[in-house]
């Protein structure tokens, strides 16, 4: 009955747990069931049950599942099961070609949700009412499980669901239990504050608890998460990262809140990789730097190993093959400085505020006044989803939006007159960075913001952007626009 | 030296405070100074110094002040001083014709900011660096003052400014000190959580503390705030309020978080008034209802007096002449159930979340997918500013946007294909309410949201909105739009 802090479990499946095969479990899930699944950053997601459901769908079973995941999940669900037509509704985020295509063809009823509030939305019945939670673990016992490479929304999902299916994955080392710090919040209106007082503090336990009566099945699996593959940063990536680094160095120098204990968040991908490269060896990499974000990738492990970074807190370990090998071979080496939290803690508005986080997130586009599009091309076509950027951009002490000035091989300006889809408003954007420069928007009225942002656009597009602004300024208006031509730039 | 909890101050000006006249104080303020002034909900703002500055500007003094207020302020600053051309830069909100006109003519460099984060923005130097704080009080002593009808951002502003000028207003009763609950947060990264555990809990003191060396002058005044004048709700207002009430009653019935202790926020104005009328006598008015918002107006006092409401927490007492008389004649009668907090506590994201607040805010327009415009007509012309709606809409347990379906006497639909200015994104809007219906957007993918929202539009506009949606759906895209015609509706 004991859920261990780090190890000492007598095998991975403890007590009298009903072990079944995935096909049997899948067959017992109703055709129109609502599933709440683990996974964040495309790791720690269940692998066998989604594949078994996909196989059944391909064999003609008429599935119309509703699936809410912690964050992005891997191919078993968002490629295999979605491509087999088994998913009717999907929340809150996706990052696969199959799911994106299905959403844009409106065959999949996708609804894009932020991360921090999702556990509450599911647990308290505002979004969906899950029938079955299907979650990956490294170990399970009566009324507890230990998550694998992501914690995500699992603590909320196993509470919200009527039944729980646990995939115990032998390819995920037991040592991962040393990373987790699981706390569960009481519901409003009497929930107390989150007790975490520093990015590296642990206040909870390794295990996720649930009503033991809910455990319907344990499925044994033995398959690693699909590893990340990182491309080398391009010259543009590096110029953007260098400009972000300049912003960060200035902030540490001039802003006592940031200077006291620089705490960064940035996303996975080319921006994050280039930024970690720029940080390494910079004046910020003095061992006091802290990371408080969503996802931990290889570069953060390098910064920790080199003594550049003091601590990294997130909800997901999204690693390359090499990164998996490093962590899986010696989890104890990293576990002291790496914490994996439920995503309503990793992304908690109150903690992002309390730690004075500097958020650095990418975007699809930015308009002249600082409204940011993170999700849709031409106002309509979904890319991935808003994810946690909404939590960090809103609540950070300093919010930096960093993006290449052009897309489509240079043919399209990402700096546009008016964003055709707004995910982050002008009220949240402090600094815009491209490879061409830095626009510090703080305290500036709209026209001054526009003038600063135009200097970050690619030189070839600046004259047209200036012409738009001039044309808009022919009319009165605090935030000048010429709506009749505002979208001429967007194909 | 003692700052009293409720009374007992030996006169309003205690100790060796330098009393001066407003003209002398105004003359000592640099032409290009940055002023941080009290005031929220157009009450509790300084009255004499702004008028003296306005008089000087009219007499030819070349003022180019930067002014950051707590929230909206009254005519001395935003009519007299602005109209005299004395203000060059202005934050974070305005609600006067003079300031609005100057902002839209771009003669006033206005920048619109939310409320909850503003104290930090000013105190930690990210927005402006105030030279002088000019704040109204009911009493002052060495190193402390007791605010009058609003607390607003005053605790942060007196800390941020180099010098402090206190207007002690004899027309504001000393008994107001019984309402205030002032707490001041430490800066990040080591600030703890806010200790307020219930909407009515008091954890601080009446006084705002500041370095006594900063006190440059005390100015005596004797003039009430300009009172609010409320028009009777129209038939449309009442229909909207009835629809909101239906949403609230359903929520109390079906959502255990809300049912446990319904806690509302709504804004000043016709919606708030009509909603208070609808609440009175409803099943919600059972004495357990709580208000956790920004501004307290007459109707809340009625609900308290009738035993319908348990407690009201805000940052401002914005009352009619009658309401002022009621409170000022017997403040002790109301002070037990009314708390005035600093606006970074009244609007704190963490507390809005912890109390499970239901936020009901109006808007200028809403688009088919739930993006909300609160601030700009035709994308360009500022009305007032975003104010605290951003804090509540984002962090509430249930976010209701309620607005009349038409503007301009019925000629214009407030439901539009694409919002030309986005203040609140689709990610935050749970329910849209008009006089024609209720659209519950929760869990719905974009097209289903659009179909629900169209049913809330005025009947005359529904065919064109449906035609837009049909046209947009001819192309692929998760969130269909036809950008070439999206703004045809906006003049």
Q: Which CATH architecture has domain A22-221?
A: 3-Layer(aba) Sandwich (3.40)
Over pLDDT 90: what percentage of chain B?
Answer: 92
Cβ contact, residue pair B478, A103, below 8 Å: yes
- DSSP 8-class letter at A3: P
Backbone angles phi, psi at A490, to 5 degrees: -105, 120
**Test the B interface: residue of A188, A194, A254, A419 with most B CBs within 10 Å:** A188
Task: Say if CB B90 and CB B99 are below 8 A apart.
Answer: yes
By 3-state DSSP, what share of chain A in percent is helix, strand and coil, each rounded to 5?
30, 25, 45
pLDDT in tens, A355-394: 999 999 999 999 999 999 999 999 999 999 999 999 999 9
Q: pLDDT grade, residue A288 (50/70/90)?
A: very high
Q: pLDDT grade, residue B82 (50/70/90)?
A: very high
Cβ contact, residue pair B483, A378, below 8 Å: yes
- DSSP 8-class letter at A324: H
Instruction: Give, rounded to a whole angstrom, the gap between the first and last alpha carbons of chain B.
Output: 60
CA distances from B470 to A157, B44, B119, B464, B476 (A): 37, 51, 46, 10, 12
Q: Which residues of A touch B419 (CB under 8 A)?
A: 422
Q: pLDDT grade, residue A6 (50/70/90)?
A: very low
Residue B312 touches partner A, C-beta closer than 8 Å: no
Q: What is the 3-state secondary structure (H, E, C) of A109-165?
A: EECCCCCCCHHHHHHCCCCCCCCEEEEEEEEEECCEEEECCECECHHHHHHHCCEEE
Amino acid B125: pLDDT: 77
Mean pLDDT of the A277-305 span: 94
Q: How many CA atoms lie within 13 A of B454 on its CB side?
A: 17
The answer for A 418-477 residues in CB contact with B (under 8 A) is: 418-427, 430, 442-448, 472-473, 475-477
Q: pLDDT grade, residue B270 (50/70/90)?
A: confident
User: Between residues B333 and A91, which one has the greater pLDDT?
Assistant: A91
Residue of A nearest to B427 (CA): A113
Of A294, A332, A435, A474, the active-site residue reads A294
Report the distance separating Cα B62 and Cα B259, nearest Å.
57
Residue B123 touches partner A, C-beta closer than 8 Å: no
**CA nearest neighbour of A123 among B260, B252, B256, B392:** B256
Handedness of CA B473, B476, B477, B478 (dihedral sign): positive
**Test the A interface: residue of B264, B265, B483, B491 with most A CBs within 10 Å:** B483
Q: pLDDT grade, residue A5 (50/70/90)?
A: very low
Active site residues of B: 294
Q: pLDDT grade, residue B93 (50/70/90)?
A: very high
Distance (Å) from the alpha carbon of B200 to chain A's nearest alpha carbon: 13
Convert B16-30 to b/e letters by CB count within 10 Å (16 or more is b).
Answer: ebeebebbebbeebe
Domain regions of chain A by residue span: 22-221, 235-472
Q: What does the block give as tokens for A56?
A: 């059944």
Distance (Å) from the alpha carbon of A174 to chain B's nearest alpha carbon: 33
Q: In whole numbers, what is the pLDDT of chain B averaged over residues?
A: 95
**Other CB atoms within 10 Å distance of the CB of residue A1:** 9
pLDDT in tens, A85-127: 999 999 999 999 999 999 999 999 999 999 999 999 999 977 9
Q: Which residues of A touch B195 (CB under 8 A)?
A: 193
Amino acid A7: pLDDT: 42
Cβ contact, residue pair A188, B443, below 8 Å: no
Residue B2 touches partner A, C-beta closer than 8 Å: no
**Minimum mean pLDDT among A330-334, A410-414, B374-378: which range?**
A330-334
Instruction: Give, rounded to a whole angstrom, the gap between the first and last alpha carbons of chain A.
Output: 59
Please tell me whether residue B295 adopts helix, strand or coil conformation: strand
The answer for B 219-258 residues in CB contact with A (under 8 A) is: 254-257
Mean pLDDT of the B320-345 span: 95
Which of B103, B188, B475 shows the shortest C-beta gap to A478?
B103
DSSP string, A438-480: EEE-TT--HHHHHHHHHTTS-GGGHHHHHHHHHHHTTS--SS-
**Other CB atoms within 10 Å distance of the CB of residue B463:** 11
pLDDT above 70 (res B427): yes
Report the distance separating Cα A379 and Cα B344, nearest Å.
34
**Other CB atoms within 10 Å distance of the CB of residue A283:** 11
Amino acid A117: pLDDT: 95
pLDDT in tens, A161-214: 999 999 999 999 999 999 999 999 999 999 999 999 999 999 999 999 999 999
Mean pLDDT of the B49-67 span: 98
CATH number among 3.40.50.720, 3.40.50.2300, 3.20.20.70, 3.40.1080.20, domain A235-472: 3.40.1080.20
Helix (H) or strand (E) holding B323: helix B321-329
Backbone angles phi, psi at A209, to 5 degrees: -95, 150
pLDDT in tens, B213-260: 999 999 999 999 999 988 889 999 999 999 999 999 999 999 999 999
- DSSP 8-class letter at B408: G
Q: Do domains B22-221 and B235-472 have the same CATH topology?
A: yes
CA distances from B252 to B58, B279, B288, B356 (A): 55, 13, 12, 12
The answer for B 387-416 residues in CB contact with A (under 8 A) is: 390, 394-395, 397-398
Task: Say if CB A294 and CB A343 are below 8 A apart.
Answer: yes
pLDDT above 80 (res B197): yes
């Amino acid at each position: 009955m004991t859920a261990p802090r780090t190890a000492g479990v007598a095998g991975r499946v403890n007590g009298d747990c009903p072990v079944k095969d995935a096909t049997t479990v899948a067959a017992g899930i109703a055709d129109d069931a609502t599933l709440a699944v683990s996974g964040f950053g495309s790791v720690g997601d269940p692998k066998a049950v989604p594949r078994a459901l996909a196989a059944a769908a391909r064999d003609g079973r008429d599935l119309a599942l509703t699936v809410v995941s912690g964050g992005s999940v891997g191919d078993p669900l968002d490629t295999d099961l979605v491509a087999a037509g088994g998913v009717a509704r999907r929340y809150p985020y996706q990052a696969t070609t199959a799911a994106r295509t299905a959403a844009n063809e409106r065959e999949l009823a996708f609804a894009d949700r932020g991360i921090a509030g999702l556990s509450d939305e599911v647990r308290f019945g505002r979004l969906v009412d899950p029938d079955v939670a299907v979650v990956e673990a490294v170990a399970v016992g009566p009324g507890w499980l230990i998550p694998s490479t992501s914690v995500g929304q699992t603590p909320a999902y196993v509470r919200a669901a009527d039944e729980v299916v646990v995939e115990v994955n032998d390819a995920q080392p037991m040592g991962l239990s040393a990373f987790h710090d699981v706390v569960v919040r009481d519901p409003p209106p009497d929930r107390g504050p989150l007790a975490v007082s520093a990015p590296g503090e642990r206040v909870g336990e390794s295990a996720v608890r649930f009503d033991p009566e809910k455990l319907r099945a344990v499925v044994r699996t033995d398959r690693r998460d699909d590893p990340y593959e990182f491309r080398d940063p391009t010259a543009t990536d590096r110029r953007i990262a260098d400009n972000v680094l300049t912003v960060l160095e200035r902030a540490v120098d001039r802003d006592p809140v940031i200077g006291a204990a620089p705490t960064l968040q940035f996303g996975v991908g080319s921006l994050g990789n280039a930024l970690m490269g720029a940080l390494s060896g910079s004046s910020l990499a003095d061992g006091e730097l802290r990371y408080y974000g969503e996802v931990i990738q290889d570069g953060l492990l390098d910064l920790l190993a080199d003594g550049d970074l003091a601590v990294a807190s997130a909800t997901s370990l999204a690693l390359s093959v090499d990164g998996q090998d490093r962590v899986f071979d010696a989890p104890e080496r990293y576990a002291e400085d790496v914490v994996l939290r439920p995503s309503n803690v990793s992304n908690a508005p109150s903690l992002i505020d309390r730690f004075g986080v500097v958020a650095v997130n990418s975007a699809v586009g930015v308009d002249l006044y600082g409204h940011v599009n993170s999700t849709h091309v031409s106002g309509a076509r979904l890319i991935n989803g808003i994810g946690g950027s909404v939590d960090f951009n809103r609540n950070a002490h300093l919010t930096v939006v960093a993006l290449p000035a052009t897309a489509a091989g240079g043919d399209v300006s990402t700096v546009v007159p008016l964003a055709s889809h707004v995910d982050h408003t002008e009220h949240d954007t402090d600094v815009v960075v491209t490879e061409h420069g830095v626009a510090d928007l703080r305290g500036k009225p709209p026209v001054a913001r526009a003038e600063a942002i135009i200097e970050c656009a690619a030189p070839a597009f600046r004259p047209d952007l200036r012409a738009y602004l001039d044309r808009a300024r022919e009319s009165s208006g605090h935030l000048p626009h010429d709506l009749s031509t505002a979208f001429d730039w967007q194909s």
